[in-house]
Amino acid sequence: MAKNSSKSKLLPIYIINGPNLNLLGTREPEIYGRATLGEIEKLCAERGRSHGLSTIFLQSNKEGELVEFLQEARTGASAVILNAAAYTHTSVAILDALQTLKQPVIEVHLSNPARREDFRHLSYVAKAATGIIAGLGVNSYLLAIDAVAAILAGAPSKKK
């Protein structure tokens, strides 16, 4: 399902999506919204192009495939946007793969895990992420692209 949405001097941004996100639009729309993953992909490609960046949009329900996408990103991506879905809260394997990356990593979620069940409060992804954007629906993805664009452009950031 990899798609390169535009040409750019930089390597593309990998936008990686975990289990059950292929069901967006029909799965618990009161939590995740009505947008399909395909619609989110198109919006991300447009937002990326607006920054002169290309995107490769990936999804898998299999933990091992997500790890392989992250390993591929080591040499194939300028940044990673990751919605690991349920694996956010359980996968040390994904954390280990993320820790091999030197690129910026933005963790995204459509819903706000901090307002949900207790088991969703732990994020292994956060331990390796540059930043986290959650609870803003589809805008979480779009804001992550804006953040990546700013990071890649060398925009100053506040460090504590």
Residues annotated catalytic, as ranges = 32, 109
What are the tokens at 140?
């979480």
Which residue type occupies 125? V
CA distance 25 to 50: 25
Distances (CA, A) of 158 to 106, 145, 151, 155: 16, 18, 12, 10
Measured from the Cβ of residue 10, the count of other Cβ atoms closer than 10 Å reads 16
| Count of positions (residues) in the chain | 160
Contact 6, 53 (CB under 8 A): yes
